[in-house]
Structure 1
Amino acid sequence: MDEVRDDRLPAALFPNALVLILTLCLGEGIYALNSFLVSTSLPSAVIELGGAALIGWAFTVYLVAAIVGGASAGFLKSRLGARRLLIGPAIVFLAGTLLASEASSMITVLVGRTLQGLGEGIIAAACYVLVAEFLPPRLVPRFFGLIAVTWAGCAFGGPLLAGFVTETWSWRAAFLMNVPLILIFMGLVLAIIPRGRGGTAKGMPPLGRLSAIAAGIMLIAVAGLQSQWWLTAGLVGLAIATLAGTVLFDRRSRHRLFPSDAFSLATTVGAGLWIALLMPVAQASTSVYLPLSLQRLWGYGPTEAGFVSALMALSWSAAAFAVSFVNRAPWPRRLVRSGPLLLVLGLAGAALALLSGLPWVLIGAQIAIGCGFGVSWAFLSQAIMTSARPGEQDLASGLVPTTQSAGYAIGAATAGIVAQAAGFDGNLAPEILAPAMVAVFTASAVMAVGAWLVSLRVAATSTDGAA
């Protein structure tokens, strides 16, 4: 299609797209499964190793490293080619997994988690890049449907399997459960992905801009830990200035990390990336606080709370699969617009459920949130991929999952800031927790309104043509 896409898979080497789709789904699935394995087994690691104060940072360093890795995927693709882009990070992820599983302290676990995040962040972004490059447009929504199903399976099976292995053997064995999958993934990559020429980008990755991205995300995370409002506001402002400055500086750079119109409301790519950021920012609050709220406010056990939380992943999967065969105008445009609107209704419903104490309202809210992502995400991603300027499709495609990860990281930190401002200081008494959580979910619904407003811009451009 243009000079960047120079290692398109020859038809003779790949007569059936199914094998490639399954390989790329496995790359994304490893990311998903690892998230649930670690969240289930990490408390046992903390009990054995000590360092309970660092448990949150085990997720923070992983996510920040994944964001940095994902942001560099487009540059590395043009430097290394498709095969090495996947194999190298897979080795890094494997090394991090082995290091964390053999850790004798939480500091070593954090180092291992950082390596895991860096490797899997590149892999996740690379899978998006290769989907846009190798698959015909009509198959792209079906790929995202399979990804949603993969995440749903991991959401249900991951905690159950990790819990069983941790109780039967140890948390170290649970950490190692990804090793066979990453080895299979590497074998498939070597078997079906051509070497590719690479070499179109010279020099080293832009480490300064990558470091600035990491610093900006970490500043927001640190802001959520402060007790003084002025310090929180100052850190958030500094974080926003750092991230915005990085994007603006990147536009004037010779070797860019982002497409030239990234986060510009005047283009489909820029507006689409705003939606890919704002929807996870809004939804992150339920991932962080909903299970806690259900257990402390409604007396649910971990299994019941986990089931209500998993309804979002199931609804995402069901909705994504249901719309994966849609390819005629104007439905892609309508679905991109409908996704954020469903998210607004779902988050508002979650706040209403806590106020009313009605479980059926919360169930409906979780289904609406999941469907919001499910009906829109594939078409949104495809619009970003196909609307990129010549020579920038790899950058645009790889930035979608990276932006999503950044949204979750920023959203989790923002939810913490809102909760603290609403009076939540770690005290789990219902009279303190309940109003704080209502405030958190209400603020999240307002942020989702921003995503819906931007979606009107994307829906008015080339979404139908992308599908």
Structure 2
Amino acid sequence: MSLAEEKSSMADPAQQTVTNAEDGRWSELLQPRHLAATVTLCLGVALFAFNEFFVSTALPTAVVEFGGASLLSWAFTLYLVFAIVGGALAANQKARFGARNTLVAAALVFATGTIIATMASSMPQVLAGRVLQGLGEGVIAALCYALIPELFPQRLVPKIFGAEAIVWAGAAFGGPLISGLLTEYWSWRAAFFVNIPAAAIFVVLVVAIVRQPAQSPGGSAGSIPLLRLVTFGVGILLVSLSSTATNDYAMAGLLAAAIAVFVSTVRLDRRSRQSILPFGAFSPTHSLGAGLWVILLMPLAQASGSVYLVYALQQLWGFGPTAAGFSNALMAISWSLTAILIASLRSHEMRVQIVWTGPLMLCLGLVGLALAVGTGEYKLVFISQAAIGAGFGLCWGTLSQLLMNVSTIEERDKTSALLPTLQSAGYAIGAAVFGAVANAGGFDEGASNRVISAALLGVFAVGATLAAASVFFGITTLRLARCEGKVHQNMP
């Protein structure tokens, strides 16, 4: 049976969704009719995931070669800002030019940025390459989410989210190792350039499997919302700048300005006839709005550990870089294994019912990190990291699928593209927020262990509070989805 015949046979969405979800098998992702699509979407995710780890490992060596240490943080900041802007732009470009043309163009932009950074002879040239990398990858990551319901039947959607979780785990393990070996035994430029063949393979796969719409694209795309994209990017830039502020007042002022920009942009977008955000976004009275708060708050809260945990293990307990870095790898392993387990559940209803336990596990994990710092018991760190990873694995794929389901067909692309964009924004905002919390607690390179412990205790306590808020929104999302009758709504 063809994919089109599978979809046309879904006569009763409420009943067939559950049946199809129960019929899905991991082996189907490797069957000829789904294999190319599986590889394409996973490779799109891999470009983003591996590039992040490659660059973070190789860039310090580039700085040693031609200076510009003061610009090192900007290589990450600009990449993130333009990745978020690219993600926000993705749905508009898909409607205007079609998914295939948009993905090919984004991959070429990404490859151009990679070549510029690889051939760079100064940090400003590296920054120019990072801007293009971020813009291209933002579009690719967003559209790889948007294409999931188009390339796979509903029953395989949980499996493809599980496959992408495996890719992230592989990136967390293999990215630093491969990049470190390339940088140490060859050149930091090789760690950049390895993205080129991957991008080329991605383009070939996209051309082969992603079809252009039968009608001419662009009819319903509208003009590019340039003003809102720029203001959104400015808000992210203000958040990133706040983490580099020299005093608490400047940091608080930049964060307040960023919040004002975000609120104004969302309000302006709601009044626009050509909105970037789907209807009901961030509204606590809509299941989609409540769910998007979970997507934002969970990575925001988890950023407390991703920013400070390795430092804490090295400074407070004397761990070496490799042993300290294992804590992050443990979180990635736990996320992937749990995601695979959840995706293997044959009951769609059960997966939906336990979505709220993901934020709860995240909250408990962050409470555990606070207790570890407060009591000096380092074993709690690894238990807590496993709990945090399990929290994401329990809910991330199912919640993403649910938010696609509750969106209207016309706005499903906007919702799908928003998910990875919002995740990146959560990590960016979290890094700045926890920087402010740590600095307010006296965190500094020359501070005593007692002061560092007190500051990090505050960081993880705030993180746990934000995670508790995501528990509330997770429960609210499920309640509203049931009230709206959309828990079992099928994706055509």
Please tell me the TM-score bracket, short chain as reference: over 0.9
1:360 deviates by: 2.1
CA distance in 1, matches of 2:396, 2:203: 27
**1:84 maps to which of 86, 97, 101:** 101
- Aligned pair count reads 459
Q: Counterpart of 1:336 in 2: which secondary structure?
A: coil
Q: Which letter does structure 1 place at the counterpart of 2:263?
A: A
CA distance in 2, matches of 1:238, 1:9: 48
The aligned residue for residue 299 of structure 2 is: 280
Q: Counterpart of 1:414 in 2: which secondary structure?
A: helix
Conservation of the 8 A alpha-carbon contact between 1:224 and 1:417:
yes
1:404 deviates by: 0.4
**1:307 maps to which of 309, 321, 326:** 326
Asked whether 1:177 is paired with 2:233, we answer no
The aligned residue for residue 156 of structure 1 is: 173
Asked whether 1:53 is paired with 2:53, we answer no
CA distance in 2, matches of 1:61, 1:107: 11
The aligned residue for residue 394 of structure 1 is: 413
**1:432 maps to which of 441, 451, 469:** 451
Asked whether 1:455 is paired with 2:474, we answer yes
Q: Counterpart of 2:347 in 1: which secondary structure?
A: coil
1:247-276 C-alpha deviation (Å, 9 max, x unpaired): 111111121111021111111211111110
Root-mean-square deviation over aligned CA pairs:
1.8
CA separation of 1:112/1:381 partners in 2, compared to 1, >3 Å: closer, same or farther? Answer: same
The aligned residue for residue 115 of structure 2 is: 98
Q: 1:101-180 alignment to 2 at 5 Å?
A: 101-180=118-197
CA distance in 1, matches of 2:178, 2:138: 23
Q: TM-score, normalised on structure 1?
A: 0.95
CA distance in 2, matches of 1:191, 1:327: 31
The aligned residue for residue 254 of structure 2 is: 235
CA distance in 1, matches of 2:5, 2:208: 15
Name whichever of 113-122 and 131-140 sits farther off: 131-140
1:232 deviates by: 2.6
1:81-103 C-alpha deviation (Å, 9 max, x unpaired): 01012100000000011101111
Gaps of 5+ in 1: 1-7
1:327 deviates by: 4.8
CA separation of 1:11/1:84 partners in 2, compared to 1, >3 Å: closer, same or farther? Answer: farther
The aligned residue for residue 465 of structure 2 is: 446
1:11 deviates by: 6.6
Conservation of the 8 A alpha-carbon contact between 1:268 and 1:383:
no
Asked whether 1:223 is paired with 2:242, we answer yes
Asked whether 1:264 is paired with 2:287, we answer no
Name whichever of 264-273 and 159-168 sits farther off: 264-273
CA distance in 2, matches of 1:47, 1:175: 16
Gaps of 5+ in 2: 7-30
1:134-164 C-alpha deviation (Å, 9 max, x unpaired): 3222111111101111010111111111111
CA distance in 2, matches of 1:331, 1:242: 39
1:27 deviates by: 0.3
Q: Which letter does structure 1 place at the counterpart of 2:152?
A: L
Conservation of the 8 A alpha-carbon contact between 1:138 and 1:327:
no
1:18 deviates by: 2.7
The aligned residue for residue 19 of structure 2 is: none
CA separation of 1:185/1:147 partners in 2, compared to 1, >3 Å: closer, same or farther? Answer: same
CA distance in 1, matches of 2:345, 2:60: 43
CA distance in 1, matches of 2:128, 2:223: 23
Q: Which letter does structure 1 place at the counterpart of 2:248?
A: W
Q: 1:240-251 alignment to 2 at 5 Å?
A: 240-251=259-270
CA distance in 2, matches of 1:369, 1:417: 22
1:307 deviates by: 1.0
Asked whether 1:370 is paired with 2:393, we answer no
Q: Which letter does structure 2 place at the counterpart of 1:397?
A: S
1:332 deviates by: 2.4
Asked whether 1:29 is paired with 2:69, we answer no
The aligned residue for residue 5 of structure 1 is: none
CA distance in 1, matches of 2:376, 2:451: 16
Q: Which letter does structure 1 place at the counterpart of 2:435?
A: G
Asked whether 1:416 is paired with 2:444, we answer no
Q: Which letter does structure 2 place at the counterpart of 1:447?
A: L
Q: Which letter does structure 2 place at the counterpart of 1:465?
A: H
CA distance in 1, matches of 2:472, 2:166: 28
Conservation of the 8 A alpha-carbon contact between 1:156 and 1:310:
yes
The aligned residue for residue 465 of structure 1 is: 488
CA separation of 1:52/1:11 partners in 2, compared to 1, >3 Å: closer, same or farther? Answer: farther
Q: Which letter does structure 2 place at the counterpart of 1:434?
A: S
The aligned residue for residue 340 of structure 2 is: 321
Q: TM-score, normalised on structure 2?
A: 0.90
1:182 deviates by: 0.7
1:334 deviates by: 2.8
Q: Counterpart of 1:256 in 2: which secondary structure?
A: coil
Q: 1:285-304 alignment to 2 at 5 Å?
A: 285-304=304-323
1:279 deviates by: 0.3
1:265-295 C-alpha deviation (Å, 9 max, x unpaired): 1112111111100001000111111111111
CA separation of 1:249/1:295 partners in 2, compared to 1, >3 Å: closer, same or farther? Answer: same
